[in-house]
Amino acid sequence: MTTLTEAMTTADASGRSRTSGRRRRGASSLKPRKSVAFTALMALLAIYALVPLVWLVINSTKTQAGLFSSFGLWFDDDFVFFQNVYETLTYRDGIFVRWLGNTLLYVVVGAGGATLLATLAGYGLAKFRFFGRRAIFAVVLGAIAVPGTALAVPTFLMFSQMGLTNTPWAIIIPSLISPFGLYLIWVYAVDSVPTEILEAARMDGAGEFRTFFTITIRLLAPGIVTVLLFTVVATWNNYFLPLIMLSDPTWYPLTVGLNQWSAQASGVAAQPIYNLVITGSLLTIIPIVVAFLGLQRFWQSGLSAGSVKQ
């Protein structure tokens, strides 16, 4: 009897040992393999993306003469970054600050309005059934496929007939339309907002608007932030539409204004201000970089949650 017990104990121990060995081998096989070629490729892509930013930061510390007398990716003897920032903000009676305020206006009203409209429309299309829903879906997909530059000239002709060119509305109104944002909220709301919760809220006497602003908007928060990030970046970097819509420099956004400075600096009789153009470009990208870094975790979770059923 003792021998049988010892044999069973030994067999059980050897079985556990083999099982743990297989688990260790399985766990080791699940570890991601490091590819030298893939790592090198990612390093090259990172360098390719960061070199222009590094060049911008370094050259914003140089004088006008230092831009052409020193190596582009190294600092000059004269470190005048703060002087360049001061001259950029005060050049031509502080027109850069006016352009910054215009850009913030277009982003807050245009991108914020586009996010709100896309959220309302996407949620409605995802959770309500009505006639023509499939046709709307086809129209939205078609609108995504049309580039914004192709619509700029027809939009200009229409706005000129309405007398809205050379006004902020010529930039804000087109920015309110975001077909991609609508589609993204639509797809995200299908799985992130359970129908049971909506039905329970309606049974408790909550109206549609109350249900949306108290329950739905919290469930859609990652998707809303994702759409907000895309619309903010698109509005902040918008160039072609303001270029053809606006002729008054006081309504320029930063993109068009800095391009005007660059063209002015390259003129025959103009005073070169390349150091101000470079410094202004650096100041222009700082807010959008901060916004992206602050919202990227919502951006990543929004994309993944919208594509996986819960």
How confident is the model over 193-217, as pLDDT tens digits? 888 888 898 888 888 888 898 889 9
| 30 pLDDT above the threshold of 90 | no
Cβ contacts of 58 within 8 Å, gap of 6 or more? 72, 73, 74, 75
Single pTM value for the model: 0.80
What pLDDT score does 265 carry?
62
Mean pLDDT of 45-66: 90
What pLDDT score does 146 carry?
86
What pLDDT score does 143 carry?
87
| 3 pLDDT above the threshold of 70 | no
| 77 pLDDT above the threshold of 90 | no
Nearest to 262 by CA among 280, 244, 235, 239: 280
What pLDDT score does 82 carry?
94
The DSSP secondary-structure symbol of 32 reads P
Strands (E), the chain: none
What pLDDT score does 308 carry?
44
What pLDDT score does 73 carry?
82
The pLDDT-based confidence of 166 (bands split at 50, 70, 90) is very high
Mean pLDDT taken over the chain: 83
Cβ contacts of 174 within 8 Å, gap of 6 or more? 151, 155, 241
The pLDDT-based confidence of 66 (bands split at 50, 70, 90) is confident
Nearest to 175 by CA among 72, 277, 120, 245: 245
Greatest Cα-to-Cα distance within the chain, rounded to the nearest angstrom: 109
The CATH code of domain 93-307 reads 1.10.3720.10
The pLDDT-based confidence of 59 (bands split at 50, 70, 90) is very high
Q: How many CB atoms lie within 10 A of CB 16?
A: 10
What pLDDT score does 6 carry?
47
Within the chain, all domains assigned CATH 1.10.3720.10 are found at: 93-307
- CA dihedral sign of residues 273, 278, 284, 287: negative
Cβ contacts of 62 within 8 Å, gap of 6 or more? 70, 75, 76, 78, 80, 275
pLDDT digits (tens, 9 = 90+) for 9-25: 444 545 555 545 555 55
DSSP reduced 3-state for 283: helix
155 neighbors 174 (Cβ within 8 angstroms): yes
The pLDDT-based confidence of 122 (bands split at 50, 70, 90) is very high
